Amino acid sequence: MDKMQFDNAMARQARLAPGFVRTIVESMGYDKLNNALPLTEIWDAQQIVITGCGDSWLAGIAARPLFESVSGVKNVQVMRNIEFNRYMDKGQLGFSPNTPLVIGISISGTVSRVVEAMERAQHYGANSLLITDDPDSPAAKAARHVLLLDMPKPGEYGPGLLSYCASVSALMCLALRIGRARGFITDGEHKKMVQAIVDYAASYAPLIEEMDQRCFELAGTWKDLRCVDFVGDYADYATAFFGSAKILETYGGYTTYDDSEDWCHINYFLRDPNTIGRVFITNSDTPSFNRVKETLVAVDQLGSPCIVVTDADKSEFADRFEVFTTPKAPYSWLSPLMQHLPYDFISGYSAELLGVENFRRDNPIYVEQGGTRIRQSKITIV
């Protein structure tokens, strides 16, 4: 079978990802970041809350370790939009000037919950910054500050893959800017880390062709599995959840996601394990690596087909597992930027092989005017 007959938006975006990260990082120069968030407000922030919906929320989980290690802000939270908007105690908003710094992410700037988050932050005296690709969007207008992604136009961005690379890259650049401004990293460290983002993304370029072909072949069987169950810890949870989201968005497949500990308590019991694909994202220096390996022993015993995306050597895992060994990141916080690529390819090819349209557009029940369900939800400030 010729894979080019099954070419698709996910595969095309995955091939472009290494260079695309460079484009975004290079656009995040000193002036842009400085204009997006004044120095005094960076110093004021005693707490950071990152929030968004779908991929944009996951981008926060992917970038959290970097905010924690370099920003110098002790309290960094990544919150689901619904939790920040409706459940975070209002007494925690504006208790000190420009605190918390609420960072919203929304590529379109049009989803109701992010507009609501920006309005809530403003209403209770917290600071707000929106990372978006549309400076005229409702969420951008509701935010005090905007960091514009400026993704190249025209471009192919749906279902979100390059847009996810853009928001993770922008968050990383912002974290480094905050850390530099607060004096928690030196100018030299700052430059080295910014360059590391570009170089890490570029290090995937030589792997893409082989990854593309291998993923096409895997999609031939994985598309028919009853369920695909993703596992990742902490920032790798973003990659796991992202893989699951792409299965839903590309072909409406059945998926689950968990962390390596809870999986042993819960998802372990899914019946007919030979019909469930397991996808693990883990790296040799992750603090839970030994726990992930224990969990993978259970996966092997259950007989589930299994893919591992990792910087560790194949020999660390059962022989029958499909191991994607990715480049070793010079900083552990970089891995989530690119380790989603194997499943991006697999979900894109699966949809094409199944003859299903992204976002189920082939079924009228899923086609709604302008995404009513997420864009016309009532804004409520509590």
Enumerate binding residues for ligand GLP (CB under 6 A).
53-56, 106-108, 111, 114, 159-160, 249, 374
d(CA 354, CA 275): 17
Residue 39 C-beta: closest distance to ligand GLP, Å: 28
Could you please report the per-residue DSSP string of 15-39?
Answer: HHHHHHHHHHHHHS-HHHHHHHS-H
| Closer residue to ligand GLP (CB): 108 or 295 | 108
Token duo for residue 37:
């968030």
How near is the Cβ of 331 to ligand GLP at its closest, in Å? 26
In the bound state with ligand GLP, the residue whose beta carbon lies nearer, of 99 and 132, is 132
Which residue in the shown chain puts its C-beta closest to ligand GLP?
Answer: 54
DSSP state of 317: S
User: What is the C-alpha separation between 101 and 96, in angstroms, rounded?
Assistant: 11
Nearer Cβ to ligand GLP, position 55 or 119? 55
What is the smallest separation between the CB atom of 52 and ligand GLP, expressed in angstroms? 6
Got the DSSP string for 83-97?
A: HHHHTS-GGGSSSBT
The position carrying tokens 């810890």 is: 233
Nearer to ligand GLP, 56 or 169 (CB): 56
* Cα separation, 139 vs 104, whole angstroms: 9
Indicate the residue type of 178: I
Neighbours of 2 (CB within 10 A): 7
CB of 266 to ligand GLP, least distance (A): 25
Least distance between ligand GLP and beta carbon 50 (Å): 13
Q: Residue 354 or 374: which CB sits closer to ligand GLP?
A: 374
Contact 102, 126 (CB under 8 A): yes
The letter for the amino acid at 256 is T
CB of 283 or CB of 358, closer to ligand GLP: 358
Q: Which is nearer to ligand GLP, 212 or 249 (CB)?
A: 249
Smallest gap, in angstroms, from Cβ of residue 165 to ligand GLP? 13
User: Shortest Cβ distance from residue 329 to ligand GLP (Å)?
Assistant: 24
Q: In terms of C-beta distances under 8 Å and separation of at least 24 residues, what long-range contacts does 209-217 make, across chains too?
A: 211/14, 211/324, 211/341, 211/342, 211/345, 212/3, 212/11, 212/14, 212/15, 212/345, 213/3, 214/324, 215/342, 215/343, 215/345, 215/346, 215/349, 216/3, 216/6, 216/345, 216/349
Shortest approach of ligand GLP to residue 55 CB, angstroms?
3
Measuring CA to CA, which residue among 100, 160, 173, 101 is closest to residue 133? 160
Give 303 or 371: the residue with its C-beta nearer to ligand GLP: 371
The smaller minimum CB distance to ligand GLP, of residues 160 and 179, is found at 160
Least distance (Å) between residue 106 CB and ligand GLP? 3
CB 105 within 8 A of CB 117: no
d(CA 98, CA 75): 14
